[in-house]
A and B are shown apart, each in its own frame.
Chain A
């Protein structure tokens, strides 16, 4: 186990549904991230949280809503998604926000929007 746990592993949802992705890290890290991974495209940074405070929103549509209640948990609330939002959503954490802090990624949630 990598220390970063994401649930669910797979999710199929309709365009009118509301669902949430959950990420939990057991590493004592202070920074958490959401990335979107689509086929043959670079990983796209979505949101960054540092000590529970959002420090970056990379122009993500409002149908994606992050929540970070504490440094160990991160959620991504989804509503009114589009088929092009289908992708692997990865959560990551790091000890801090200096460049020497490598990311630890979770295994991701494979999202399919129908």
Chain B
């Protein structure tokens, strides 16, 4: 059973544009929502994470928006750059399961110059 659903599967954005990737979850016990970035030939790397007690978290050009009532969260990449081209994974975890992460299917982002 897929507990974290991610969309779109792929995304093409022009340089300087805004990239938006969405995730929806089912389990209301989830209380930690990280995003991972994966470049070809590399493992995923933690990009930014949020807890449900805040609705938004910003780090540089990357922002997570969180809607607890809708059980949705999204990653916004402002001023997208070709170097942002990678696969992005959302994930969710709950305190009672330790750091066990449930991942979304991934979004392949391409930023054209």
Are A and B part of the same complex?
yes
The answer on a CB contact under 8 Å between B105 and A41 is: yes
Q: For chain A, what secondary structure do more than half of its interface residues adopt (helix, strand, loop), or is it mixed? A: loop
The number of residue pairs between A and B whose CB atoms lie closer than 8 Å in the complex comes to 69
B4: A residues at CB distance < 8 A: 42
The answer on a CB contact under 8 Å between A107 and B98 is: no
Please tell me if A21 contacts chain B, counting CB pairs below 8 Å: no
Please tell me if B45 contacts chain A, counting CB pairs below 8 Å: yes
The answer on a CB contact under 8 Å between B95 and A98 is: yes
The answer on a CB contact under 8 Å between A99 and B2 is: no
B2: A residues at CB distance < 8 A: 42
The answer on a CB contact under 8 Å between B99 and A42 is: no
Please tell me if B32 contacts chain A, counting CB pairs below 8 Å: yes
The answer on a CB contact under 8 Å between B100 and A45 is: yes
Closest Cβ–Cβ distance, residue A113 to chain B (whole Å): 20
Q: For chain B, what secondary structure do more than half of its interface residues adopt (helix, strand, loop), or is it mixed? A: loop
A99: B residues at CB distance < 8 A: 31-32, 93-95, 98-99
Within the complex, which residue of A2, A40, A96 is in contact with B99, where a contact is CB–CB below 8 Å?
Answer: A96
B42: A residues at CB distance < 8 A: 2, 107
The answer on a CB contact under 8 Å between A4 and B43 is: yes
The answer on a CB contact under 8 Å between B32 and A42 is: no
Closest Cβ–Cβ distance, residue B19 to chain A (whole Å): 19
- Can you identify 6 A-B contacts, CB atoms within 8 angstroms? A43-B103, A45-B100, A98-B95, A98-B98, A98-B99, A100-B32
Give 14 A-B pairs besides A43-B103, A48-B100, A107-B43 with Cβ atoms closer than 8 angstroms: A2-B43, A40-B9, A42-B106, A45-B100, A45-B101, A56-B100, A97-B98, A99-B95, A99-B99, A100-B32, A102-B34, A102-B49, A105-B45, A107-B42
